[in-house]
Amino acid sequence: MTPPQNFDLKSLIACPKCDALYRVGPVEKGDQAKCLRCRTVLYARRRDAGLIIISTALASTILVIAALFLPFIEISRLGFKNGSTLIDAALAFYGGPLFVLSLAVIGSIIALPLTRLFLTLYTLTPLVLNRPAWPGAKRAFRLSETLRPWSMAEIFLVGCAVSLIKLTDLARVELGPAFWMFVSVILLMAIQNSFMCRWSVWKALER
Ligand SMILES: [Zn+2]
């Protein structure tokens, strides 16, 4: 079906979940436009959203990098104590068949979230500063959205917590600072996600 003439496609928005089509209307500051059928947020106007997103992204980047060098767990048994960082854990399988698996785990919990954080900062920093978007910003934002389902730090943490509970029968297990840093990163990411209005970002990038 072809749209009638003098029909402005830019004034339309489709619900990303159920494909219902709406005409974009004005939204008050702090309000959200939701799909009538499935209640998905179509777009929102929040004060200082961009600033909140880039500050949480920056804080998360620092936490993820710092967490690499600090103990993730500490295990003690019969007076012996051993702390392990995430890099130690990956390298423990070096040379064995499990090394590929440990690299995949490190990729999904460190490399992918760090790449997404970098892409978010690259896309949004100039927009927040009211400057023209940096070159390739559209591609960077699209890549960041494509990677979204693949960065799985929260699933990893839940898995760790379950295995650590099982380990407590054998030894005393303490969660190291890196574990709590990852918990903070997940909370910061959730805040970032709730303030991110993808439609507004695309509109700003088109300008
Ligand atoms: Zn919908």
Confidence of residue 83 (pLDDT cuts 50, 70, 90): confident
127 burial type by CB count under 10 A (0-12 exposed, 13-18 middle, 19+ buried): buried
| pLDDT of res. 1 | 43
Cα–ligand 1 centroid distance for 56 (angstroms)? 28
- Mean pLDDT over 189-193 rounds to 91
Cα–ligand 1 centroid distance for 39 (angstroms)? 6
Confidence of residue 55 (pLDDT cuts 50, 70, 90): very high
Half-sphere exposure of 88 (CA within 13 A, CB side): 12
Q: Which residues are paired to 81 by β-bridges? A: 76
Confidence of residue 63 (pLDDT cuts 50, 70, 90): very high
| pLDDT of res. 207 | 76
Model confidence pLDDT, tens digit, residues 88-104? 877 878 888 888 888 88
Using a CB cutoff of 5 Å, list residues around ligand 1, an ion.
15, 17-18, 20, 35, 37-38, 40
Task: Report which listed range, 4-13, 26-35, 127-136, is most confident.
Answer: 127-136
Cα–ligand 1 centroid distance for 171 (angstroms)? 50
CATH number of the domain within which 75 lies: 1.20.140
Cα–ligand 1 centroid distance for 2 (angstroms)? 22
Picking from 14, 30, 45, the residue at the C-terminal end of a domain is 45
Integer angstrom CA distances of residue 73 from 85, 167, 171 = 7, 11, 12
Cα–ligand 1 centroid distance for 38 (angstroms)? 4
| pLDDT of res. 2 | 47
Q: Quote the CA–CA distance of 57 and 176 in Å, as a whole number.
A: 23
Does residue 53 share a domain with residue 41? no
Domain with 13, as residue range(s), is 1-45
| pLDDT of res. 10 | 77
Does residue 97 share a domain with residue 4? no
Q: Quote the CA–CA distance of 102 and 91 in Å, as a whole number.
A: 8
Cα–ligand 1 centroid distance for 90 (angstroms)? 42
Does residue 83 share a domain with residue 15? no
Long-range contacts, 147-150 (Cβ 8 Å, 24+): 147/112, 147/115, 147/116, 147/119, 148/116, 150/108, 150/112
Does residue 38 share a domain with residue 51? no
Higher pLDDT, 195 or 154: 195
Q: Helices (DSSP H) in the chain: which residue ranges?
A: 49-67, 86-91, 98-106, 112-128, 137-147, 153-167, 177-195, 198-206
Does residue 69 share a domain with residue 38? no
Does residue 57 share a domain with residue 137? yes
Q: What is the average pLDDT value for the chain, to the nearest integer?
A: 87
Does residue 40 share a domain with residue 51? no
Confidence of residue 114 (pLDDT cuts 50, 70, 90): very high
Cα–ligand 1 centroid distance for 21 (angstroms)? 9
Domain count, the chain: 2
Cα–ligand 1 centroid distance for 33 (angstroms)? 11
Does residue 22 share a domain with residue 58? no
Residues of the chain with pLDDT > 70, as a percent, come to 97
Does residue 33 share a domain with residue 99? no
Does residue 56 share a domain with residue 21? no
Q: Quote the CA–CA distance of 194 and 186 in Å, as a whole number.
A: 12
CA 152 to chain centre: 9
Does residue 193 share a domain with residue 177? yes
33 burial type by CB count under 10 A (0-12 exposed, 13-18 middle, 19+ buried): middle
| pLDDT of res. 6 | 58
Does residue 121 share a domain with residue 39? no
Cα–ligand 1 centroid distance for 203 (angstroms)? 20
| pLDDT of res. 5 | 56
Cα–ligand 1 centroid distance for 50 (angstroms)? 25
